[in-house]
Amino acid sequence: MLLATDLDGTFLGGTPVQKEQLYRIINNGKGIQLVFVSGRGLATILPLFNEPFMPKPEFIICDVGATILNGNTLQPIEPIHSLIEERWPGEEMVSGLLTSVKGLVPQNVPQQRRCSYFFNEHTDVDDLKYKVEQLNCDLVLSAGKFADVLPKDINKGYTLQMLAKQCHFPMEEILVAGDTFNDLSLFATGYKGVVVGNAEPGLLEATAGWHAIYHAKEEGAGGILEAMRYFSLVEE
Ligand SMILES: [Mg+2]
């Protein structure tokens, strides 16, 4: 199987015991290929590999889908990388236009081919939406505070689909996992999916009744383990 998982609140969430159990199953080579699919930039993913038991992913999709790398060489995966790059107007252009949006605060995090902001109830979201459209980009609002501006039609799910297609990975053997609204595109792929415990209510609502999506009780890694059993994806 291929496990394509969000990091914060998902693969990195749950109890230490659940994390160790999940990471051990992956490290023991039970035929599980791993893809990290994160809103983080690469610079804040790399330190994770110093943590005990942390499995090495075969691929890293980060920047909310705007970056795709080989997990070993950290080289961009072509031609997907170029396709994303072509659709990005550039940070200068994006931040230049959005600087006038009332109540929009830039996130001071490493980022490529996307611009991330904080928003709140004082933010002029209509103005933000209008300007993002002018840039021919996409806007993803999640967790009630994060606003990501992304290249047109690029998101976690679309980039994963391009990867799975390129690697000829069988659709029925893919499990996606996430916990907030920027993971919705992963669940919209039609692959099997698990919304882990303690997820953003909006994500639970949006995926309610979706045939291939399992809502786990356990949080983080515990929810992924629960779903692997539910879908009979691993032998115990
Ligand atoms: Mg998350």
Task: Please work out, in degrees rounded to the nearest 5, the angle formed at the alpha carbon of residue 67 by the alpha carbons of 88 and 210.
Answer: 100
pLDDT at 158: 98
What spacing in Å lies between the alpha carbon of 127 and ligand 1's midpoint? 27
As given in the structure block, the two tokens for residue 116 are 């991330």
What spacing in Å lies between the alpha carbon of 1 and ligand 1's midpoint? 21
List residues, by chain if needed, whose CB lies under 5 Å from ion ligand 1: 6, 8-9, 179-180
pLDDT at 143: 83
In terms of pLDDT, which residue wins out, 236 or 218?
218
Render pLDDT for 29-53 as a digit per residue (tens, 0 to 9).
778 999 999 999 999 999 999 988 9
pLDDT at 44: 96
Number of C-beta neighbours around residue 168 at 10 A: 6
What spacing in Å lies between the alpha carbon of 180 and ligand 1's midpoint? 5
For the chain, list the domains and their CATH numbers. 2-84+154-230 (3.40.50.1000), 89-151 (3.90.1070.10)
Render pLDDT for 162-175 as a digit per residue (tens, 0 to 9).
999 999 999 999 99
What spacing in Å lies between the alpha carbon of 81 and ligand 1's midpoint? 23
| Alpha carbon distances (Å) from 29 to 1, 25, 34, 53, 73 | 11, 7, 11, 13, 20
Going by C-alpha positions, the residue among 7, 35, 13, 26 that lies closest to residue 166 is 35
